[in-house]
Structure 1
C-alpha cells in the first residue's frame, strides 16, 4: 500500500475537492509544513505532494522510500530535480490548468491600472465626488487599450493566450526575444525594442538562473513610454527595490504584481511600501486560483499519481521548469 503525504494542502482552497486515488493507499494531509518537519512527515512515504515546500537534496537523501514527488503546481523549482534524476525519484507537475485564469487576472490588472480604477475608488470613498461640483472629475489618467503596445515576456501557453486577448482589445502584442539573444525567428521582437516601445509590459516567464533579476534599473531606464508593468509569473524576475525606484522616478506609470520574491512578503518588502498607491495593485499570488482552475489542478494532480502507480507516468519533468 502506498503512503501519500500532502505537505501543504492549504495551498489549494478548502472548497476544492481532492479525490482519493483509485489504488490502495494511505493519504495524510497537512495544511502547512515547516522545513524542520518535512523529513519526519515524509518518513515511509512513497509519494510526496508539495506545492511550495522545499525538497532539497539534503532532505531527499533522508527519504529512501520516496519514488514520486507530485508537485501541485507548474513550477518545480521547490524540488532538487538534479538529485531526483540521479536517484530514481520521479517528479511530475501540473500543466495547462491556468490558461484562462492567469491571462484573465493579467487583464484585470491591466484594465484597472490603465483606467485608474483604484485611484478613483479611493477618491470616491474619500468624498472627492461630492466635492467635484459636477457629475464627474478627472483626478487620474484614463487610457484605452486599443492601439496600445503590449510587450509580452514569455511566449508559452499563457503568453500566447494573453496575446489573443490583447488582439481582441485592439492592442498590438509583441513577444520579447530572450534577453541577450537574437535570431530567434519571426515571432520575436528584439528585447530592447520591446522595452523601449511598449505601453504595457507583462511577464509570463519561468524563474531560472538566467531569468532571475532580468528586469532592473538598466531595463527600466530603457522604457521610454513609461509603461505599466504587470507580473503574474514569479517575483524574482524583477529586482523589487529597482521597481520602486523606477516608479518613484517616473520611469514606469504603474505596477500590477501578483507575486513577490519572498512570499508572503515582510512588512518592509519594497512592494509593500508602495502597495497603497493608486497606481499600484498587489494581489497575493492568486492569479492562478479561480475555482475552475484549482479543480482542474486537483484532478490532474491525482491523475499524475494514479498514472505513475499504474506504470504510465504523466507530466514528468526532467530537470526543467
Structure 2
C-alpha cells in the first residue's frame, strides 16, 4: 500500500508520523496546489489530507485510490459523493480536540467578557502610570457566572464546552437545529436560544444546512449585550452581517478562530473588524495544542492501519 500526505507542512515537523509494515511506501509533501493533486495521487492507495481539496475529477481519475484519511474533523474538502460512487472510503478524526477547542473557546470568551485586550493595551501604553487611583476601570468587566450560553452543535466539543460553562456557573442551553419544530428533550428551539442567550457558541460542522446559519435576521434577534463565539468553521456566520452587527452595536462583540477563506486575506470582512476592541480573531489554532495534534495523528494512523488490515 502506498500512502501520500498532501499537506504535511500543516503539522509541526517534530510531530512523528510512523506507519507499520502494512504501508510499504509513504510520500509526504509540504503542501500541494490544486494543479498538483492529480499527479501526486495518481498511484496512491491512501491519501492523507488536512485541508487540500480532493475533487470529483481527481477521485474519478485516480487508478488505485482506496482510502482518503482526512487529518481533521471536517470532511468538506473531499467530494464525498464521488468517493461513494467509486467505493473509496473517507475517514476523519474525531475527539482529538475535545480539550483544546473548549479551552480556547473560554480563553476568548473570558478575554471579551473581562476586556483583557484593552486593559493590556493600557498597561503597555503607560496609561496605568498616569491613573488617579490605584486601578483603571475604563472598560466594563462582566462575570460569566449567571450568564446564559447557547451551544449550537452538541457533539463532543459542544458537550465539553457545556461542562466548562456549568463549572463557571453559567446556564447552558443546547440548541435544536434551525427550523426544527420537534424539539428534543433537554434542548431549546433555535429561535428561543438566539433571543435569550447572553453568549452563543458555535460548534457545528459547515454543511448546506449550516451555511450562513447566523445572518442579519439572527443578529437582529440577539440581545444587544450578546457575544458570538465561532470556533467551528468559516461560512457558518455571514461575515458581512457580522460586521454590520458589531458596527451598529446590535451585539456586544464576537470572537472567531475561523474565516470563510483561509488563509484569510486582508480583503476579508473580518479583517475590517480586527482593530475593534470587541472583536477577537485567532488564525484557526483552537485545535492545535501539542497534545491535541499528537492525539489526532495517532488516531489517524490507527484508522489507516485498521482499514488496511480489514482489507
Distance in 2 of aligned mates of 1:23 and 1:86: 26
Q: Partner of 1:310: helix, strand, or coil?
A: helix
Q: Partner of 2:82: helix, strand, or coil?
A: helix
Distance in 1 of aligned mates of 2:92 and 2:50: 10
Distance in 1 of aligned mates of 2:56 and 2:215: 31
Q: Which residue of structure 1 lines up, in the alignment, with residue 295 of structure 2?
A: 296
Q: Which residue of structure 1 lines up, in the alignment, with residue 234 of structure 2?
A: 235
Contact 2:198 2:223 in 1 (8 A): no
Task: Give the alignment's TM-score, normalised by structure 1.
Answer: 0.95
Contact 2:102 2:161 in 1 (8 A): yes
1:18 aligns with 2:17: yes
Contact 1:4 1:28 in 2 (8 A): yes
Q: Partner of 1:160: helix, strand, or coil?
A: helix
Q: Which residue of structure 2 lines up, in the alignment, with residue 163 of structure 1?
A: 162
Q: Which residue of structure 2 lines up, in the alignment, with residue 44 of structure 1?
A: 43
Unpaired runs of 5+ residues, structure 1, are 313-321
Displacement of 1:226: 2.4
Q: Which residue of structure 2 lines up, in the alignment, with residue 104 of structure 1?
A: 103
Contact 1:247 1:254 in 2 (8 A): yes
Displacement of 1:184: 2.5
Residues 70-117 of structure 1, C-alpha deviations (whole Å, 9 max, x = no match):
111111111111111111111111011111111111011111110000
Displacement of 1:224: 2.0
Displacement of 1:278: 1.5
Distance in 2 of aligned mates of 1:163 and 1:69: 32
Unpaired runs of 5+ residues, structure 2, are none
Displacement of 1:191: 1.2
Q: Which residue of structure 2 lines up, in the alignment, with residue 315 of structure 1?
A: none
Residues 243-263 of structure 1, C-alpha deviations (whole Å, 9 max, x = no match):
011001111111110000000
Contact 2:239 2:270 in 1 (8 A): yes
Q: Partner of 1:31: helix, strand, or coil?
A: coil
> Larger deviation: 123-132 or 50-59?
123-132
Q: Partner of 1:235: helix, strand, or coil?
A: coil
> Larger deviation: 158-167 or 273-282?
273-282
Q: Which residue of structure 1 lines up, in the alignment, with residue 256 of structure 2?
A: 257
Displacement of 1:166: 0.4
Contact 2:83 2:90 in 1 (8 A): yes
Displacement of 1:43: 1.5
Q: Which residue of structure 2 lines up, in the alignment, with residue 198 of structure 1?
A: 197
> Larger deviation: 187-196 or 260-269?
187-196
Distance in 2 of aligned mates of 1:209 and 1:110: 28
Distance in 2 of aligned mates of 1:167 and 1:69: 38
Residues 43-67 of structure 1, C-alpha deviations (whole Å, 9 max, x = no match):
2111110011111101111112111
Displacement of 1:216: 0.8
1:214 aligns with 2:223: no
Distance in 1 of aligned mates of 2:21 and 2:106: 39
Task: Give the alignment's TM-score, normalised by structure 2.
Answer: 0.98
Q: Which residue of structure 1 lines up, in the alignment, with residue 57 of structure 2?
A: 58
Contact 1:198 1:225 in 2 (8 A): no
Contact 1:22 1:306 in 2 (8 A): no
Task: Quote the RMSD (CA, aligned, Å).
Answer: 1.1
Of structures 1 and 2, the one scoring higher in RCO (CA 8 A, sep 6+) is 1
Q: Partner of 1:85: helix, strand, or coil?
A: helix
